[in-house]
Amino acid sequence: MVALESAPPRSSSMETRREGWLPPKSFSSSAMAFEPKCDAASASETERVARSMRVLVAGAGALGCEILRTLALYGVKEIAVIDMDVIEESNLNRQSLFSTENIGQSKALTAAAALRERFRDCDVVGYHAAIQDMPLDFFRSFQVIVSGLDSVEARRWLNSCIFHIARPVGLESARNASYAPVLIDGGTEGLAGQARTIRPYETACIECTVDLYANEGTQYPLCTVVGTPREPEHCIEYAASALWPSQHNGSLGPLDPYNAEHIEWVYGRARQRAEQFGIDGVTVSLVKHVLQHSVPAVATTNAFIGAACALEVVKLANGISHPDATWLAFNGTSGICIQSLHIDRRRSCPICGPESRITIHMSGKAPLRELVELLRTHPELRCRNPSLVWAYRPIYMSAPRPLEEVTRQNLDKPLNQILIGNQNAENSAEFILTLTDSGLRLSREMHLILH
Ligand SMILES: [Zn+2]
């Protein structure tokens, strides 16, 4: 039987406080967070605090543009924006800081320039880069980080970054946590959206609620894609991730999911692989869906959620953000529905929970592949690139590719054979493995109990 140790009942926020989950510092009283720098006697309190803040906006797409514009209108004077994408013509109907002459330019640099031009006393810096390429000190230098990202995995990565800042390695107690930025996360999908405030060790984090996010289209286990494809998406992912880099060898550059020639190439190879494994359903439209991770965007929803995120920044700055109502959910799909929610922290959250020990029960006869797939698909873990080390020995490494190729041979071996040396062992045994996930900055002790 495969089972993950069930999480204890979730506690209310008041219970949480009684048990000693107090935040590392009271946000509004943190001198580091909002040390006033502006002495302008005529400035209102809101203006004065807004001028003292350093805010990072992650993502300069449709939502990011709205967040940036509203922050500047509120009077925030120090803003940074980071995005790795360039502007495309299809962006222009909803990304309000760009125009036709900006096509092909960096979103982050162009958005920063547009804000500087309109708000002359606003210091805006753009970073044309992926958030995953920036050091922790970069994120540490901001009081608030507002996420307008379009990917669940990027959100999870940013969330784990903030907790790495809040809890230096080796300090397992929230009371020992140091200062970390507050994360405000915005997200939209069509006519629905949400904005939530994440204060380390005080509110639920992204990982606490990871089971609420739908799996993204690209989350296919590498071992399944390579070894045992079952769905048409697996064949498409194989053609795009494995065949394209090896067969083109860099001659055509990286795969462009919007290039018709590239799409046609992937479609042809995916069809061949699907026929080889007797799988139906590979179509051009499915290839586009898988490659482009397409999510519908509505400009008005982005404006609404962007404004809500910016308003939370100002409320935080003024100490009036309500700690028990940190999640705004907007649903315009069937009428107008707006809710403010309180979400409890998950005690077994691998990022912020006090009981984050991961315990997995499995049959010793099960192959390692089954354990790796469980780590990827379990709703409370959702590992992206799980790697397992036991007694300093890599059992399976999902990255880098040379290590993956070396350890891939273990995937079909029974766990008993790998860990006990006898695939017919009958006795129960417990092993402590180190689970890491390079895609999520996750490193956790994992207790594997074989039966
Ligand atoms: Zn958490």
Centre of ligand 1 to C-alpha 158, Å, is 13
Within 223-335, strands assigned E span 327-331
Query: In the structure encoding, which two tokens stand for residue 27, read together?
Result: 């946000």
Q: How far is CA 268 from CA 190, 245, 288, 290, 293, in A?
A: 31, 15, 13, 15, 19
Residue 53 and residue 80 in contact, taking contact as beta carbons nearer than 8 Å: no
Q: Identify the residue with better confidence: 1 or 97.
A: 97
Average pLDDT over residues 87-111: 89
| Percent residues over pLDDT 90 in the chain | 33
Instruction: Give the C-alpha separation, 295 to 26, whole Å.
Output: 37
Structure confidence by residue, pLDDT tens digits, 294-311: 656 788 999 999 999 999
Instruction: Give the C-alpha separation, 378 to 11, whole Å.
Output: 22
How much is the pLDDT for 379? 73
Residue whose token pair is 């070894």: 227
Instruction: Give the C-alpha separation, 397 to 408, whole Å.
Output: 8
Centre of ligand 1 to C-alpha 3, Å, is 21
How much is the pLDDT for 351? 85
How much is the pLDDT for 171? 45
- Nearest C-alpha neighbor of 143 from the set 51, 69, 209: 51
Centre of ligand 1 to C-alpha 351, Å, is 5
Q: If you compute the radius of gyration of the chain from its CA atoms, what whole number of angstroms results?
A: 24
**Please, which residues have CB less than 5 A from ligand 1, an ion?**
205, 207-208, 349, 351-352
Average pLDDT over residues 237-249: 80
- Mean pLDDT for all residues in the chain: 80
Instruction: Give the C-alpha separation, 302 to 63, whole Å.
Output: 5
306 burial type by CB count under 10 A (0-12 exposed, 13-18 middle, 19+ buried): buried
Centre of ligand 1 to C-alpha 288, Å, is 34
Q: Which 3 state secondary structure label does DSSP give 3?
A: strand
Centre of ligand 1 to C-alpha 346, Å, is 6
Structure confidence by residue, pLDDT tens digits, 371-409: 998 888 777 777 877 899 998 889 998 877 788 888 999
pLDDT over 90 at 255, yes or no = no
Show the domains of the chain with their CATH numbers: 8-215+297-341 (3.40.50.720), 222-292 (1.10.10.520), 358-450 (3.10.290.20)
Instruction: Give the C-alpha separation, 226 to 329, whole Å.
Output: 39
The 10 Å Cβ neighbour count of residue 193 is 23
Confidence of residue 363 (pLDDT cuts 50, 70, 90): very high
Phi, psi of 122, rounded to the nearest 5 degrees: -100, 125
pLDDT over 50 at 323, yes or no = yes
Confidence of residue 424 (pLDDT cuts 50, 70, 90): confident
Contacts of 246 (CB under 8 A, 6+ apart): none
Q: Which residues are catalytic?
A: 223
Residue 74 and residue 313 in contact, taking contact as beta carbons nearer than 8 Å: yes
Q: Which of 21-35, 78-92, 316-330 has the highest mean pLDDT?
A: 78-92
Residue whose token pair is 């509505």: 298
Instruction: Give the C-alpha separation, 437 to 444, whole Å.
Output: 9
Centre of ligand 1 to C-alpha 446, Å, is 17
Identity of the amino acid at 250: G
pLDDT over 50 at 33, yes or no = no
Label residues 336-347 b or e (16+ Cβ within 10 Å = b): eeeeeeebbbbb
* ipTM above 0.85 for this complex: yes
Centre of ligand 1 to C-alpha 4, Å, is 17
Q: Identify the residue with better confidence: 124 or 169.
A: 124
Q: Reply yes or no: is the peptide bond before residue 400 cis, omega within 30 of 0.
A: yes
Identity of the amino acid at 230: R
Identity of the amino acid at 89: E
